[in-house]
Amino acid sequence: MIKNRHGMTTVLGLLVMLLMFIALLLVYGYAPIERTMGMAQKIFYFHVPSAFMAFISFAVVFVASILYLKSKDDKYDRVASSAAEVGVIFSILMLLTGPIWARSAWGVWWTWEPRLTTTLILFLIFVGYLMLRNYGDSGDQMKRYSAVLGIIGFLDVPLVYWSVTWWAPEITNHPQGLELEPQMKFVLTFSFFTFGLLLLFLLLKRIELSKIRTELEMLKKDYLR
């Protein structure tokens, strides 16, 4: 069973690599150059999918944390912790690509407007989540604290997503909508699909590693008895 799962994730990983290569070709060879921002706009095809994959990852943390608190089943804790790590990775991509796009779009690398601020807070919350898991003990109390923090942290996601419409337009730099040409829409859709499979691959791989680590810890305890 483990070998079969490992084989499936390996195939998925190879597929993601192929699709990512195709996505790069589409972004830089097929999608038209935006008139105002030029080539810098192409970071948009990586920034937006990264943001949504981070949101989805933290949604998985939210659901898995609730299920863990209800059932005390460690499999949900593994899913939550794995999804948090993946979400932080996508958040880093989002925070790295965002300023590049912002510089061309609005003339600044960073400004403390609502969406950027709430995004940074979201990132820091889940960095704190990972620190709690890595530096705390591995007992049930730590898992409960992590679950509660994961649930609270996810509540920032709606703030990030809706900040452009909830706050007055004059205090936010983000546009409320973008007019995309058909080629741009196709490439963006393809990027979303590719990043979605990347999310699935990373999550499955991290859960797989978490299971192996748990099994090794159990074998170690049995050996020391």
Question: How is the chain split into domains, by residue range?
Answer: 2-224
Q: Categorize the per-residue pLDDT at 4 as very low, low, confident or very high, splitting at 50, 70 and 90.
A: low
CATH architecture of structural domain 2-224 = Up-down Bundle (1.20)
Integer angstrom CA distances of residue 197 from 15, 193, 202 = 9, 6, 9
pLDDT in tens, 93-131: 999 998 887 777 777 788 787 888 899 999 999 999 999
> Residues 6 or more apart from 208 whose CB is under 8 A from it?
2, 5, 6, 9
CA–CA dist 9, 7 (Å, integer): 6
Tell me the average pLDDT of the chain. 88
pLDDT in tens, 5-63: 667 889 999 999 999 999 999 999 999 988 777 787 899 899 999 999 999 999 999 99
- The phi, psi pair for 178, rounded to 5°, reads -125, 135
Q: What is 79-90 written as a DSSP string?
A: HHHHHHHHHHHH
